[in-house]
Amino acid sequence: RLCFRPPARGFQCAARGCRAHRSAGGALVANVLRNGSVLLQWGLRHWGPPPRPAAALRGFALNCSWDGTYTRFPCDSVELGAACRDYLLAEAHGSVRYRLCLQPRYAPPRPAPPAQCVEFRVEPAAMRDIVVAMTAVGGSICVMLVFICLLVAYITENLMSPALAR
2, 78 Cβ separation under 8 angstroms: no
Which pLDDT tens digit goes with each residue over 102-115? Answer: 988 888 777 778 88
Q: Pick the more confident residue, 142 or 16.
A: 142
CATH superfamily name and code, 18-123: Immunoglobulins (2.60.40.10)
Which pLDDT tens digit goes with each residue over 41-82? Answer: 888 776 666 555 555 788 888 888 877 666 666 677 788 888
pLDDT surpasses 80 at 100: yes
| Non-local CB neighbours of 145 within 8 Å, separated by 6+ positions | none
pLDDT band at 154 (very low <50, low <70, confident <90, very high): confident
Residue of 117, 126, 123 lying closest to 40 (CA atoms): 117
| Non-local CB neighbours of 150 within 8 Å, separated by 6+ positions | none
What's the pLDDT score for residue 25?
84
Residue of 9, 17, 5 lying closest to 123 (CA atoms): 17
Residue of 86, 119, 115, 64 lying closest to 12 (CA atoms): 86
pLDDT band at 6 (very low <50, low <70, confident <90, very high): low
What's the pLDDT score for residue 2?
58
Q: 88-97, 108-117, 122-131: which has the minimum mean pLDDT?
A: 122-131
Residue of 14, 10, 40, 17 lying closest to 28 (CA atoms): 40
Q: Is the backbone peptide bond immediately before 162 cis, with ω within 30 degrees of 0?
A: no
Q: Helix, strand, or coil here: 46?
A: helix
pLDDT surpasses 80 at 163: no
Domain boundaries, the chain: 18-123, 125-165
Q: Please tell me the distance from the alpha carbon of residue 57 to that of residue 47, in angstroms, as a whole number.
A: 12
